[in-house]
Chains A and B, each alone.
Chain A
Amino acid sequence: MTDLLTTPLHALHVELGGKMVPFAGYEMPVQYKAGIMAEHTHTREKAGLFDVSHMGQVILNGPDYDAIATAFETLVPMDVLGLGVNRQRYGLFTNPEGGIMDDLMFANRGDHLFVVVNAACKDDDIAHMKAGLEPGVTVNPVADRALLALQGPAAETALSRLAPEVADMRFMDVATLRVDGAELWISRSGYTGEDGYEISVPADRAENFARALLADDTVLPIGLGARDSLRLEAGLCLYGHDIDNATLPAEAGLTWAIQKARRTGGARAGGFPGADAVLEQMANGPARKRVGLQPEGRAPMREGVELFADETGGNPVGQITSGGFGPTVGAPVAMGYLPSELSEPGTRVYGEVRGKRLPATVSTLPFVAANFKR
């Protein structure tokens, strides 16, 4: 346990009664005293504060934004050049086979690109960016900042008390604001399906800033457990589970993240790792697709549960990649992969739980409608 890393908010988590567990090399709170269910519901109804400082924050510097964007487009199938100033997009690093190396957020911050990647992948991602971008573009991991997420319908009001300008931001806007002398890099985004913000704050100011947010009685600290159930209900992928190196964007249902400019026939079609495979699968349709699944009974179907077309006999046709109880749905929910011919909403399949095949229905995603301020 001694080799686990901690975030600048570690002492605060412990003080708030966080149950600390190892996650992606860090000791992080899986829940606080309220428990996962209450934390989940509180975030959907009011506002939740999440410590996501374990994620990787990286700045890409270069001669100018267009030069950085042009270079970054060689690593991701996204339209980076066409991203407006102070706007953010969801992105994917692809490998030479077209599989997903990681998913990420990137923002045009005027003279540089700001990238946020998953904790478990950050060392590989940084090495990958250095190999692919330097020396023309320099890759600068940001080690001295915490990252907080404030999510939920009351997030705007709570953060506005400290930084009134955030009320005018739209979904996926980014801004640099000063609060109490600290420079904050804010985006109106998150990973819960709710309106909210992600806030990069200097490490030595993070605890004070978190306390200032928690002083608002609509804001509660939320652990990784509820973060997982919130993103699952929102139909959002968890890297290493719902998407991985062997998953292509089309089968994962992520082609919306590949803008027209990078698609076949687009102004800058292809030109990223695995482009042929990615674009071919987009053109011809994938053999399997990520789907939402609603188990018919109360038994959760968790990651690894095998899916069958029939109640008896036959080989597995797919697998659950994320699953559990959806507190807002009030029933178990799951995501997994099924052959395209079994992926239509309403299709009934069977998940094998403890040796019994239990029915589940393919459903549209998300399970809980997004509540973004567009």
Chain B
Amino acid sequence: MKYTEEHEWLLEEGELIVVGISAYAAEQLGDVVFVELPEEGTEVTKDEDIVVIESVKAASDILAPLDGEIVEVNEALTDNPGKVNEDPTGEAWFFKMKPSDLSPMDDYMDEAAYKEFIGD
């Protein structure tokens, strides 16, 4: 699993990349009450805002970690946003994308580097 400085995790699943947010980010956000996902088939550019997450405290965005196409979104989060707090690195993945350029993956952190990044 790789991590971005935006606290997203990326997991390679065949030729797809599964994206969610870290447990640390979920805890910082607090209780998540709303998730707005992109449409499947959307072409996205790295660093574009593509998911809206609202917690009891505030709204925040998830950025596209790579260029590519959104091929699947986790609709279950729309009806049950609280899953993001319950299982952020498991069931509460946000979307799967088909990357067109994997090179930024090399810059993303591994677990040890991410732990250091969040001061854990």
Known: A36-B56, A302-B59; 10 extra A-B contacts, CB below 8 A, are A35-B30, A35-B31, A35-B56, A36-B30, A37-B31, A225-B30, A325-B31, A325-B33, A327-B56, A354-B52
Instruction: List chain A positions with a Cβ less than 8 A from chain B.
Output: 30-31, 35-38, 225, 229, 298-300, 302, 324-325, 327, 332, 354
Check if A36 sits within 8 Å of B57, measured CB to CB: yes
**In the bound complex, what is the Cα–Cα distance between A270 and B59 (angstroms)?**
44
Check if B52 sits within 8 Å of A298, measured CB to CB: no
Task: Judge if B54 is at the interface, Cβ distance under 8 Å.
Answer: yes
Contact bitstring B73-88, A, C-beta under 8 A = 1, else 0 = 0000010010001000
Chain B residues whose CB sits within 8 angstroms of the CB of A36 once the complex forms? 30-31, 56-57
B50–chain A nearest beta-carbon distance, Å: 12
Question: Looking at chain B, what size class is its interface with the partner chain?
Answer: 10 to 19
Task: Judge if B114 is at the interface, Cβ distance under 8 Å.
Answer: no
Check if A324 sits within 8 Å of B52, measured CB to CB: no
B2–chain A nearest beta-carbon distance, Å: 28
Chain A residues whose CB sits within 8 angstroms of the CB of B108 once the complex forms? none
Closest 5 CB pairs of A and B: A325-B33, A37-B31, A36-B56, A298-B34, A299-B34
**In the bound complex, what is the Cα–Cα distance between A325 and B34 (angstroms)?**
9
B35–chain A nearest beta-carbon distance, Å: 8
A287–chain B nearest beta-carbon distance, Å: 31
Check if B34 sits within 8 Å of A300, measured CB to CB: yes
**In the bound complex, what is the Cα–Cα distance between A325 and B33 (angstroms)?**
7
Contact bitstring B95-110, A, C-beta under 8 A = 1, else 0 = 0000000000000000
> Provided the pairs A298-B81, A354-B52 are in contact, do residues A225 and B57 lie with their beta carbons within 8 angstroms?
yes
